């Protein structure tokens, strides 16, 4: 454990809270000290939910540690049932309460409550939030799912969405629409939106759609093993992945799943001369494994970008991300330290970042546009409008979200061209992706100890931002080959002439 300003994932009890918050008629009793109640703010402030999470805290204090904290937990558990009358209780301990070893599972089992009580064993000092989400959903499914007959019509469950998930609400709506057009009914969406009664009937579906592996793969594997339900392996983010997802549905169900791409907005742009402006743009991608892998495919195969960095923060998915990175010719970055991510971005000198809220802040400091593709996110990435990531409409949203920061950068270039005019204030900087901080170049010197003189730096800033990175790299390469230690304006133009031949 270490002290940090930012973190990609909270402790695993936050993952359990995300599951409980997304569900109905479920209550979470959390053995925790007073300070651990901060997690409520994640849902009321960031996700802007209209009600508090269904969580009761024991909120023991320092003076309670010399007394019976186990009795505090039992009282909180009993009061929570009497007040909220849930159909099921889940119980567990926060990272702090884990140290006093009161065993909430054993205590609740001895109380004889008239509803199912599901104990959670979440190792707070070894695992993190996404593990907590996955393990909680798995334990709920294992405790509540019953053997039932299949539905007469072909149906599926959608597994993985939770509270505080990145665009989960809209992804589910888009996926339900797509499935309805094919003729597949949705038996249940879980855990988000489901009740214990819905969980009990998960076995009625013919198969499962695994939307977010980080949250639902453990439960999907168990349902396949115990209830004979196959699950989909493709997450339909992007045009190519959506086509593959439909092919997978056709294979599982035997239905005709012909893609209807009439609502896609991107093809007309791809056929225009303007689209060549995107070709070869260098992009650095970092987030949770599911969204990072999907973004890499869209970036290279659908946008024509060059992927110069790829990584994820959840180590449980390190192996597939490393294999994918090899296919893209880059070394995978597997870390939960945002400072390592910032260092890698500086070294790669991308023209765009696709990442989390953390990478958005990094992009601001480095003056690099960033589109958010993955949790953790802040309030602006829980839009009130409809904004899915999956399916055909999700592909439209990705197109807008990724292309606009680059296209709007042309405005930045015009401001740079006229920076010496009295109407413009160079210290203000671009407003669309770097706040009001002055633009800061990524580096003043290269790895080969080539130094940029001030006049050369000023001249380089006149180069349009979307080719400035390439101009910098070419000039540094030319200087290294020629044995030039300091890059002047003359060196810049000599390099330009050299590579224009």
Domain end point (choices 205, 232, 253): 253
Cα torsion 328, 332, 338, 344: sign: negative
CATH code of 249's domain? 3.40.50.1980
Domain end point (choices 214, 230, 253): 253
Q: How confident is the model at residue 182 (pLDDT cuts 50, 70, 90)?
A: very high
Q: Which residues are catalytic?
A: 274
Q: How confident is the model at residue 36 (pLDDT cuts 50, 70, 90)?
A: confident
List residues forming the annotated binding site for substrate: 409-410
Q: How confident is the model at residue 21 (pLDDT cuts 50, 70, 90)?
A: very high
Q: Between residues 271 and 1, which one has the greater pLDDT? A: 271
- Residue 5 inside a domain? The answer is no
Q: How far apart are CA 317 and CA 335, in angstroms?
A: 11
Q: Is pLDDT of 224 > 50?
A: yes
Quote the number of domains for the chain: 4
Q: How far apart are CA 220 and CA 160, in angstroms?
A: 9
Residue 3 has a pLDDT of 55
- Cβ atoms within 10 Å, residue 339: 12
Same domain, 246 and 270: no
Same domain, 122 and 162: no
Round the average pLDDT of the chain to a whole number and report it. 86
Residue 116 has a pLDDT of 94
Lowest-pLDDT range of 108-122, 172-186, 334-348: 108-122
Residue 458 has a pLDDT of 87
Same domain, 235 and 273: no
Residue 88 has a pLDDT of 96
Same domain, 82 and 44: yes
Q: How far apart are CA 96 and CA 34, in angstroms?
A: 10
Which residues lie below 8 Å from residue 214, measured CB to CB, with a gap of 6+? 130, 133, 134, 160, 288, 289, 290, 314, 316, 317
Q: Which residues pair with 93 in a beta bridge?
A: 31
DSSP, residue by residue, 417-470: HTTTSTT--GGG--TTTSTTSPP--S-SB-TT-PEEPHHHHHHHTTS-HHHHHH
Same domain, 407 and 273: yes
Same domain, 281 and 407: yes
Q: Is pLDDT of 276 > 80?
A: no
Same domain, 211 and 297: no
Residue 190 has a pLDDT of 96
List residues forming the annotated binding site for [4Fe-4S] cluster: 36
- Residue 383 inside a domain? The answer is yes
Residue 273 has a pLDDT of 65
Q: Is pLDDT of 474 > 70?
A: yes
- Residue 243 inside a domain? The answer is yes
- Indicate the pTM of the whole model: 0.81
Pairing of the two strands 185-190 and 155-159: parallel
Mean pLDDT value of segment 400-408 = 78
Q: How confident is the model at residue 33 (pLDDT cuts 50, 70, 90)?
A: confident
Supply the range of the domain harboring residue 17: 12-133
Same domain, 161 and 105: no
With a pLDDT cut of 70, the percent of the chain lying above it is 88
């Amino acid at each position: 454990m270490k002290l940090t300003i930012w973190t990609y994932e909270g402790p695993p009890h936050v993952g359990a809270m995300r599951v409980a918050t997304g569900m109905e008629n479920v209550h979470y009793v959390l053995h925790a000290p007073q300070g651990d109640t901060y997690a409520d703010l994640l849902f009321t402030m960031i996700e802007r939910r209209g009600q508090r999470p269904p969580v009761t805290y024991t909120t023991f204090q320092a003076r309670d540690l010399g007394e019976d904290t186990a009795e505090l937990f039992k009282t909180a558990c009993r009061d929570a049932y009497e007040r909220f009358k849930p159909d099921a209780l889940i119980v567990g301990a926060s990272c702090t309460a884990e140290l006093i070893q009161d065993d909430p599972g054993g205590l609740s089992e001895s109380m004889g409550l008239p509803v199912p009580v599901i104990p959670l064993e979440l190792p707070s000092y070894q695992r993190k939030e996404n593990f907590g989400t996955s393990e909680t959903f798995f334990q709920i499914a294992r405790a509540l799912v019953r053997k039932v007959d299949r539905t007469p019509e072909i149906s599926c469950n959608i597994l993985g969405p939770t509270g505080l998930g990145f665009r989960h609400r809209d992804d589910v709506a888009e996926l339900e629409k797509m499935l309805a057009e094919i003729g597949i009914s949705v038996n249940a969406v879980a855990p988000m939106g489901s009740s214990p009664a819905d969980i009990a009937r998960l076995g009625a579906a013919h198969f499962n759609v695994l939307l977010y592996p980080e949250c639902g793969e453990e439960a999907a594997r168990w349902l396949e093993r115990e209830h004979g339900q196959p699950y989909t392996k493709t997450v339909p983010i992007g045009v190519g992945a959506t086509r593959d997802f439909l092919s997978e549905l056709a294979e599982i169900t035997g239905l005709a799943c012909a893609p209807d791409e009439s609502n896609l907005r991107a093809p007309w742009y791809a056929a225009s001369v303007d689209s060549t402006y995107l070709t070869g743009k260098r992009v650095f991608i970092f987030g949770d494994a599911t969204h990072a892998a999907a973004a890499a495919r869209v970036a290279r195969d659908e946008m024509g970008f060059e992927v110069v960095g790829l990584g994820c923060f959840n180590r449980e998915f390190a192996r597939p991300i490393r294999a994918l990175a090899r296919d893209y010719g880059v070394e995978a970055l597997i870390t939960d330290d945002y400072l390592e991510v910032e260092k890698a971005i500086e070294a790669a000198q991308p023209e765009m970042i696709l990442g989390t809220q953390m990478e958005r802040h990094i992009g601001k400091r480095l003056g690099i546009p960033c589109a958010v593709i993955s949790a953790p996110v802040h309030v602006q990435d829980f839009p009130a409008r409809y904004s899915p990531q999956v399916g055909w409409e999700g592909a439209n949203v990705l197109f807008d979200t990724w292309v606009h920061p680059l296209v709007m950068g042309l405005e930045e270039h015009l401001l740079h061209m006229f920076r010496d005019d009295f109407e413009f204030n160079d210290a203000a900087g671009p407003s669309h992706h770097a706040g009001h901080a002055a633009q800061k170049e990524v580096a003043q010197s290269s790895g080969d100890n080539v130094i940029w003189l001030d006049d050369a730096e000023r001249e380089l800033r006149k180069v349009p931002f979307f080719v400035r990175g390439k101009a910098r790299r070419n000039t540094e390469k030319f200087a290294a080959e020629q044995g030039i230690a300091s890059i002047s304006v003359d060196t810049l133009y000599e390099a330009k002439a050299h590579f224009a031949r």
